[in-house]
Structure 1
Amino acid sequence: MAFDFACPDWVEKLERGQTPIADLPLDAEAADRAVQVFNRLRLPDVIGQPSLAEGAGEWIRDVVRAVFGSMSTSSLVPEVRQVGEVFILVPKKNAKTTSAAAIALTFMLLNKRRNADLLVIGPTQKISDVAFGQARDMIDADPEGFLQKRFHVQDHKKQIKCRVTGAKLMVRTFGMDVLTGAKPVFALIDEIHLLGTVPYAADVIRQIRGGMMPFPEALLVMITTQSDHPPAGVFKTELQYARGVRDGLITERVRMLPVLYEFPEAMQTAEHKPWQDPAYWHMVTPNLGRSITLEKLLDGFTRAKQDGIGELIAWATQHLNVEIGLALHSNRWVGADFWLAARDVSLTGLDQLIERSEVAVVGIDGGGADDLLGLNVTGRCRETRQWLSWSHAWCHPVALQRRQENIATMHDFEARGQLTICSHPSEDHAGVCDIVAKLQDAGLLPEAAAIGLDPAGVAALVDELSAVGIAPEQMVAVGQGYRLSSAIWGMERKLMDGTYRHCGQEIMAWCIGNARSEQRGNAVLITKEAAGKGKIDPLIAAFNAFTLMSRNPTAAGSGRFEYTGM
């Protein structure tokens, strides 16, 4: 019988202090037996080394019940685990790593397969060592000596071997060379949010899943906190899948149990920030009163508020699982505070902008072959006079080769249609020309100052724009650096008063998260927060377009131009 993992009342369960998982048709006897094994393990780093029966929260026992009580039998396969995967999102200081180690040992104690391989995987050597240390110390903490007799701990190998079945629990650091070809019956991946920027992470997890296929009782557990940057790569993919299962949007052939301790989206995005009220914190801290207390959370919260919004957001992501759409830091651009609220949900793309606008201008910014080429179209709504913004970017394969930490992020933007990874050298310029020609064909571009360009290195693009009928007077150089100050300040103001609206594109939120504001005398500069890694070209393109729209342009009227290529 297939399990239904949807949990439509997850918010109400969090409010009541219950585990936000569906009610499953479990084998009560098997579930209770597993909980008894789990409860006998001890907390090695707590004074007195209490058993998990005393020190663990009920939430993690609910997970143990679901995992070990979900075995079903048939005439063809004797035992199949219906909960084949678990995705746990829980804040720091909620005994996350300890719980992971305890689940691994419980699985090993109940395992029947001889010479099975079990893996505990961390994104870094340090995290891997912590997980191994917790499992090892739990064995040493057994007062009756049963676990010491059952298991042979090999510190130098970071390995624990069961003397009864020959099964081995091995600790590994996440990497293609380490995990390729692995065939584990159990795998636990700790802190998967740190793998969001690892370009090969999805391939490795795919291989782990593939290696588990021969074992019907196999179990994959992913346990993590929220990321302190916008979710990306494999972390974003797995998190979105878990949310889809929880919300009942994904139902076909599901074997993942989502255990997500997070506030509903409305609480996270509301302008008055209800998540800052300590009265709600119990919803996302299942170990409250055990490994973490409200007093400690309040101390950290108060200090973070004193240190500025950047520190507050970083604290909230780690201790309350608040997901950020922008990586807000202490020297962020002021407009970042208003960007998310400025989204126009009815503005879904360039076609809607063209349909609603009486005039439009284009901003373009880009660097070398290993950089992004950013384009922004800013239109003025014929009815509301609001400014409407849409962006796109292009990058060449060399940019991914040199900035491999961005590969997963770039492919995510490409899948969303917000970025093009070029297959030939002139594809970016051709794409720019197609968009500009479309605006010219719609009669939205002004007769002069319609396209704002960074004056550096645009000769080839100017030639190609000319080839599609763009007049020289329609292309203007926009001063960069401190000369963009008026556009930067102007956009801040229009974002704040609600007269600048955008499509809510993730690529722009990412760029704004990468942007650093610098005061230079009476001017302000927007630069990269992290050299090379964090791109901001589409944002600079938006400032270029803003500069032209600030001149209150009038559309020239319709024309007929078609890009034929250079």
Structure 2
Amino acid sequence: MSSYPAWVFDNSPIPDPHGKGQRAVDFLRALRHPKSSLPGRQFQLDRWQDRIIRKVYGDTKPDGTRRIKTVFALIPRGNRKTTLGAALAMLHLGPERIPGSQVVSAAVDRDQARIALEEMKGVIGAHPRLEEAFQVQDTKNRINHRKSAAFYRAMSADAATAHGRTPVFALVDELHAWKKRDLWDAIKTGLVKTPGSLLVVTTTAGIGRENVAYDMYSYAQKVATGVIEDDAFLPILFEADKDEDWRDEAVWHRVNPGLSCTPPYPDIDGMRQMVREAEHRPADREMFRQLHLNIWLDGAANPEWDLGIWDENAGELDLSSWEGRRAWIGVDLSKRIDLSAVATAIELDDGRLALHVQSFTPEAQLRRRADSDGAPYPLWAEQGWLTVCPGDIVDYSYIESHVRKMADMFTVEEVNFDPYMARDMVASLEGSGIPVNLFSQGIMNFAKPVVDFEDMMMTRRLVHGGNPLLRWSVGNTVMQRDANENRKPNKDRSSDRIDPTVASIMAVARAVANATGRSSYDDAPDDPDLYSV
């Protein structure tokens, strides 16, 4: 079972030496909510929420100052986490208020950001004393406390309005959906300027590891399991284990805290219907696992391969020690504003292949691509996995230079090209005596190579050095299938860039075919029409 906050449901004592936890709970229970079914429309604070509030605000240091500075709450969809977040924001305009302080909530876009604001407006409008105490500036996404000058503001991921602010409390909603990190960085740097500040992240699980949400989730897991000691960081992880049966309602109840309440939420009959339909739709199954069981997914919503197995192939790449060995190269030339890749498969003594993959992208597009793809291209460039070409387009001379470098270092048996846009480079390499092969992109030409690549991975005979850009690409890969279950990488259906994977499949498959003395073409049918690009 994954990390799990047992203290939320047991009866263990929660420290409250200065009564601040009780004060927070009393304040929230005195509020009203327009959608509440309780008498007098009393704000509904369920037991699991009550205990989280007591833990965050009651567990103070001996001098009464805040112990917990960061809360990371992984809560499945439908468990009213936005209502909980809005309640926390109200606390910082109430008993936790500091005169002149800034309270913010932030989300990926304007509509999402206003959800917490609308919750707070409803709470204020339901209580005459609060209506008198606060001024709601709806068009400015702002709520002012009249006497103290403290204010709340809802923000979306637009850092132009974020830098320079020094919030005392920040609620970050659905961090898994944030592709840009400008607003996140602005909030984090602003919080450290204010003593006693508090950051609360409420989110469902996400997809992929190359994002700020996964960085936070990974840290939260390590704190929860004791790998890292950090008593200022509170991990609250309602999540199922990846291997648990996603159809098991006992798992649903453990992971969804709202199902322990009366009446329960989310709608369990709706969940049952989703599962019945998802039995026959793999993409819906993965969506259910992600959003309702909080299982963090790798890459595509329905990825072709288990990245846990991929990671077991990592090993270490030591190119200099393998100099002179036989090698096969795959080159995938993208459009010149996209990602291109060169994969080199190097024959080792024990039946394994070392796989070195270098990717290429234009400098002018680097930051924009990082934001649109949600991938840390600048970091990968700094680590050496990504070559940044000056200008607005990929300079193919950089790619050709890398191929020639590999040909100088190894005994290159073959450089395989996707024929698309490869004519000039093919002619140049052939003119230098480097063996070149055009690798048709038809599904039958990929059928055996995909199997060979998969076999090398599954038998842990592919040493890729833990290349994070390649890992991201493999996790994005979705296959096109024909009636006979032949497969080829499908760039249109894959969740993001897969060019490094395509180049790797070509290189590895040609290496396997030559090592066995059998060409991958030997297993293809005779019909030449099936080789069409």
Q: Could you state the TM-score of these two structures normalised by the residue count of structure 1?
A: 0.77
1:405 to 369, 372, 376: 372
| Cα distance, 1:423 vs structure 2 | 6.1
Tell me which residue corresponds to 2:334. 367
Return the letter of the residue paired with 1:510.
W
1:150 to 2:126 alignment: no
Percent identity of equivalent pairs = 23
| Cα distance, 1:413 vs structure 2 | 4.2
Return the letter of the residue paired with 1:41.
L
| Cα distance, 1:166 vs structure 2 | 2.6
CA distance in 2 between partners of 1:337 and 1:278 (Å): 27
| Cα distance, 1:322 vs structure 2 | 0.8
For 1:244-323, list aligned pairs within 5 A: 244-251=222-229, 255-263=232-240, 267-268=241-242, 270=243, 273-290=244-261, 291-306=265-280, 308-323=281-296
CA distance in 1 between partners of 2:290 and 2:20 (Å): 36
| Cα distance, 1:258 vs structure 2 | 2.0
| Cα distance, 1:132 vs structure 2 | 0.9
Return the letter of the residue paired with 1:537.
D
Tell me which residue corresponds to 2:499. 537
Contact 1:184 1:208 in 2 (8 A): yes
Tell me which residue corresponds to 2:490. 527
| Cα distance, 1:485 vs structure 2 | 3.1
CA distance in 2 between partners of 1:422 and 1:129 (Å): 40
For 1:37-48, list aligned pairs within 5 A: 37-48=27-38
| Cα distance, 1:130 vs structure 2 | 1.4
Return the letter of the residue paired with 2:500.
P
Q: Secondary structure in 1 aligned to 2:359?
A: strand
CA deviations over 1:206-226 (Å, ceiling 9, x no partner): 322332334212212111111
| Cα distance, 1:12 vs structure 2 | 6.1
Tell me which residue corresponds to 1:29. 19
1:68 to 2:57 alignment: yes
Q: Mean alpha-carbon deviation: is it higher for 126-135 or for 501-510? A: 501-510
Return the letter of the residue paired with 1:285.
N
| Cα distance, 1:436 vs structure 2 | 4.5
Tell me which residue corresponds to 2:446. 485
CA distance in 2 between partners of 1:338 and 1:112 (Å): 50
CA distance in 2 between partners of 1:206 and 1:377 (Å): 37
For 1:159-558, list aligned pairs within 5 A: 159-195=142-178, 197-198=179-180, 201=181, 203-227=182-206, 229-251=207-229, 255-263=232-240, 267-268=241-242, 270=243, 273-290=244-261, 291-306=265-280, 308-329=281-302, 336-340=303-307, 342-343=309-310, 345=312, 347-351=314-318, 360-378=327-345, 382-383=349-350, 385=351, 389=355, 391-400=357-366, 403=369, 404-406=371-373, 408-411=375-378, 413-414=380-381, 418-422=385-389, 425=395, 427-440=398-411, 445-446=412-413, 450-458=414-422, 471-472=433-434, 474-482=435-443, 484-487=445-448, 490-491=451-452, 494=455, 498=459, 501=462, 503=464, 505-518=467-480, 525-529=488-492, 534-553=496-515
Q: Secondary structure in 2 aligned to 1:114?
A: coil
Tell me which residue corresponds to 2:520. none
CA distance in 2 between partners of 1:433 and 1:301 (Å): 53
RMSD of aligned Cα (Å): 3.8
Q: Secondary structure in 2 aligned to 1:288?
A: helix
Contact 1:232 1:412 in 2 (8 A): no
CA distance in 1 between partners of 2:196 and 2:460 (Å): 57
CA deviations over 1:352-377 (Å, ceiling 9, x no partner): 9987x985422221224322222333
Q: Secondary structure in 2 aligned to 1:92?
A: coil
CA 1:328–1:509 in 2, change beyond 3 Å: closer, same or farther?
farther
| Cα distance, 1:317 vs structure 2 | 0.6
Return the letter of the residue paired with 1:451.
V
Contact 1:18 1:59 in 2 (8 A): no
Contact 2:71 2:201 in 1 (8 A): yes
Q: Secondary structure in 2 aligned to 1:120?
A: strand
| Cα distance, 1:281 vs structure 2 | 2.4
CA 1:95–1:392 in 2, change beyond 3 Å: closer, same or farther?
same
Return the letter of the residue paired with 1:318.
L
| Cα distance, 1:146 vs structure 2 | 3.3
| Cα distance, 1:405 vs structure 2 | 0.7
| Cα distance, 1:319 vs structure 2 | 0.8
Number of residue equivalences: 507
| Cα distance, 1:47 vs structure 2 | 3.5
CA distance in 1 between partners of 2:266 and 2:224 (Å): 26
CA distance in 1 between partners of 2:40 and 2:341 (Å): 57
CA distance in 2 between partners of 1:415 and 1:261 (Å): 35
CA deviations over 1:147-184 (Å, ceiling 9, x no partner): 33332333333322223423111222221122122122
CA 1:172–1:453 in 2, change beyond 3 Å: closer, same or farther?
same
CA deviations over 1:57-102 (Å, ceiling 9, x no partner): 333323322332244476xxxx642212212111101111000001
For 1:110-121, list aligned pairs within 5 A: 110-121=95-106
Q: Secondary structure in 2 aligned to 1:226?
A: coil
Tell me which residue corresponds to 1:332. none
Return the letter of the residue paired with 1:549.
A
| Cα distance, 1:137 vs structure 2 | 1.0
CA 1:245–1:47 in 2, change beyond 3 Å: closer, same or farther?
same
CA 1:298–1:540 in 2, change beyond 3 Å: closer, same or farther?
same
CA deviations over 1:88-119 (Å, ceiling 9, x no partner): 11110111100000111122111342122211
Tell me which residue corresponds to 1:564. none
CA 1:38–1:524 in 2, change beyond 3 Å: closer, same or farther?
same
CA distance in 1 between partners of 2:214 and 2:271 (Å): 26
| Cα distance, 1:239 vs structure 2 | 2.2
Return the letter of the residue paired with 2:293.
L
CA distance in 2 between partners of 1:509 and 1:127 (Å): 31
Contact 2:366 2:378 in 1 (8 A): no
CA distance in 2 between partners of 1:15 and 1:210 (Å): 31
Contact 1:17 1:283 in 2 (8 A): no
CA distance in 1 between partners of 2:138 and 2:176 (Å): 27
CA distance in 2 between partners of 1:323 and 1:407 (Å): 16
Return 5+ residue gaps in structure 1 as ranges: 1-8, 330-335, 556-566
